[in-house]
Amino acid sequence: MPHRKIESKALAVPSSRLSRLAKLGGLASGIAGNVAAEGARQLVRGQRPNMGALLLTPANAMKVADQLAQMRGAAMKVGQLVSMDAGDVLPPELAQILGRLRAEAHHMPGQQLKKVLTDAWGPDWLRRFQKFDVRPIAAASIGQVHRAVTRDGRDLAIKVQYPGVRRSIDSDVDNVAALMRISGLVPRGIDLAPMLAEAKRQLHEEADYEREGRCLARFGELLSDNPAFRVPALHADHTTTSVLAMSFVEAVPVDDLAEAPQAERDRVVTLLIDLLFRELFEFRLMQTDPNFANYRYSPATGQVVLLDFGATRAFPEGFADLYRGLLRAGFAGDRDAIRRTARQIGFLAEDTPEGLEQAMLAMFEMSLEPLRQKGAFDFGASDLPVQMRDAGMAMAAERDHFRIPPMDTLFLQRKFGGIYLLASRLKARVDLRALIEPHL
């Protein structure tokens, strides 16, 4: 389960609620200072300052990215989600700066790491290992990963959670949400409460490494009949709520395949899209975090290696049937049936204005084009994401009627979007119709 060697520096994770609040308070005042200074400069030049443009400057984005990277935990996770969802909306330089949060994080200093492992395994924990690499091979929002060899010769990847992450989840999410409201990043009138409650629930689940271990083992069972995939094995004897031990798998980032032969890129993306449909329609269990780092590739075997099952989500009975009905209606071009099913799912409300409803239905039909096409769909040559973004921006004017859809739907859409982005990055050509038809 290797990652690229990280070039981050050791930086202690602020673990008390007060120190984390102070970090965000400092961030807010720093951004306010930047806004005031730049606004004054524009007034001197005779320009009329635009509040939105003043907030969304590269300097402010750099401040946000640096501070959230230092805090890790829920604060950094929210920053990652914003950068992933807003990549097509933010100016490219801002998306790039915030995108750093998905690729890099600081790691814990040795003393802090030692304390976390002593709390998890007891004071004699080093006796468990022939070798334990103190320098992490990966660092992310909630934990960092170390390679170790046990006394009995098992080669492990060990994910160690940052201290204070579980305790700080609720306050971090509230504080970052307040920061986003103050900064104007969230349109007025949008009720964030259900999304924030869900973010907290999911982050508490992700911070429970014993739960993630069970999800890891379950996916290993579900895919045991498919040699094209590799899921690291859980090592429960070294796993606790804050430490997850799994087998180390030699692999490279999946986006390294950008230079691979077309046939191999097509094969890998076909596998991932087929897995997505199986997760929804067959397993009713989905790893919902579409971060590219969760997919790796083994050059030695050609296998797709799956990592990070903290965001695994079980869908309720009947959820897949509603989506199956929506897709069937879409394939048949039956707009009335699409409208009915979209209301059942929660995409549309009874009081959605007629114009907005028609625009949303048209956008859904547009999103089906790749699935309805006979033969291979060329992700690299398609301008569908740009069309979808333009349609979405046009609907943004109706923000008074915007509703956050049900959370199951939101997480599913996030996964669809993430896999689409990866397929576009790899310029894959995939017969999507052949993959979806068996499920309909």
pLDDT tens readout for residues 290-312? 788 889 999 999 999 999 999 89
Whole-number pLDDT of residue 298: 95
In this structure, is residue 44 part of a structural domain? yes
Whole-number pLDDT of residue 370: 84
Sheet holding 252-253, edge to edge: 229-230, 304-306, 295-297, 252-253
On whether the CB atoms of residues 324 and 439 are closer than 8 A, the answer is yes
Tens digits of per-residue pLDDT, 54-78?
444 555 555 555 555 554 445 555 5
Instruction: Find, among 258, 205, 209, the residue nearest to 236 by Cα.
Output: 209
Residue that finishes a domain, picked among 229, 248, 267: 248
Query: 242-256, 328-342, 393-407: which range is least confident on average?
Result: 393-407
Residue 4 pLDDT level (bands cut at 50, 70, 90): very low
Give the residue numbers spanning the domain of 435.
251-439
Highest mean pLDDT: which of 6-10, 237-241, 345-349, 422-426? Answer: 237-241
For range 400-425, the mean pLDDT: 78
CA distance 387 to 95: 19
Whole-number pLDDT of residue 260: 94
Q: Does 274 participate in catalysis according to the annotation?
A: no
Whole-number pLDDT of residue 21: 46
Tens digits of per-residue pLDDT, 74-121?
555 554 455 444 444 444 544 555 555 454 556 788 888 999 999 999
| Given the residues 172, 274, 289, 408, the one annotated as active site | 289
Whether the predicted pLDDT of 141 surpasses 50: yes
Please state the length of the chain.
Answer: 440
The answer on 144 and 243 residing in a single domain is yes
In this structure, is residue 414 part of a structural domain? yes
Query: Which strand (E) or helix (H) includes residue 312?
Result: strand 312-314
Whether the predicted pLDDT of 45 surpasses 80: no
In this structure, is residue 141 part of a structural domain? yes
In this structure, is residue 287 part of a structural domain? yes
Whole-number pLDDT of residue 360: 79
Whether the predicted pLDDT of 406 surpasses 90: no
In this structure, is residue 200 part of a structural domain? no
Instruction: Output the pTM of the full model.
Output: 0.77
The answer on 301 and 263 residing in a single domain is yes
Whether the predicted pLDDT of 38 surpasses 50: no
For range 40-56, the mean pLDDT: 47
For range 229-258, the mean pLDDT: 95
CA distance 177 to 199: 11
In this structure, is residue 237 part of a structural domain? yes
In this structure, is residue 2 part of a structural domain? no
The answer on 212 and 308 residing in a single domain is no
Query: 139-143, 225-229, 237-241: which range is least confident on average?
Result: 139-143
Whether the predicted pLDDT of 238 surpasses 80: yes
Higher per-residue pLDDT: 121 or 18: 121
Whole-number pLDDT of residue 350: 76
Query: 147-156, 315-324, 337-346: which range is least confident on average?
Result: 337-346
For range 411-428, the mean pLDDT: 86
The answer on 130 and 82 residing in a single domain is no
The answer on 310 and 228 residing in a single domain is no
CA distance 365 to 360: 9
For range 331-343, the mean pLDDT: 85
Residue that finishes a domain, picked among 182, 216, 239: 182
The answer on 293 and 175 residing in a single domain is no
Tens digits of per-residue pLDDT, 388-402?
766 666 665 555 555
The average confidence (pLDDT) of the chain is 77
CA distance 202 to 165: 13
The answer on 118 and 58 residing in a single domain is no
The answer on 427 and 401 residing in a single domain is yes
Q: How many domains is the chain built from? A: 3
Q: Tell me, letter by letter, the H, E, C secondary structure of 341-376.
A: HHHHHCCCCCCCCHHHHHHHHHHHHHHCHHHHCCCC
The answer on 407 and 264 residing in a single domain is yes
Residue 191 pLDDT level (bands cut at 50, 70, 90): low
The answer on 377 and 290 residing in a single domain is yes
Query: Which strand (E) or helix (H) includes residue 302?
Result: none
On whether the CB atoms of residues 56 and 91 are closer than 8 A, the answer is yes
The answer on 224 and 80 residing in a single domain is no
Residue 36 pLDDT level (bands cut at 50, 70, 90): very low
Query: 125-129, 183-187, 286-290: which range is least confident on average?
Result: 183-187
The answer on 52 and 133 residing in a single domain is no
Whether the predicted pLDDT of 156 surpasses 70: yes
DSSP secondary structure string, 170-181?
Answer: HHHHHHHHHHHH
In this structure, is residue 131 part of a structural domain? yes
CA distance 169 to 171: 6
Percent of the chain with pLDDT over 70: 68
Whether the predicted pLDDT of 138 surpasses 90: no
Whether the predicted pLDDT of 288 surpasses 70: yes
Whether the predicted pLDDT of 173 surpasses 60: yes
Whole-number pLDDT of residue 151: 96
Task: Give the domain CATH number at 121.
Answer: 3.30.200.20
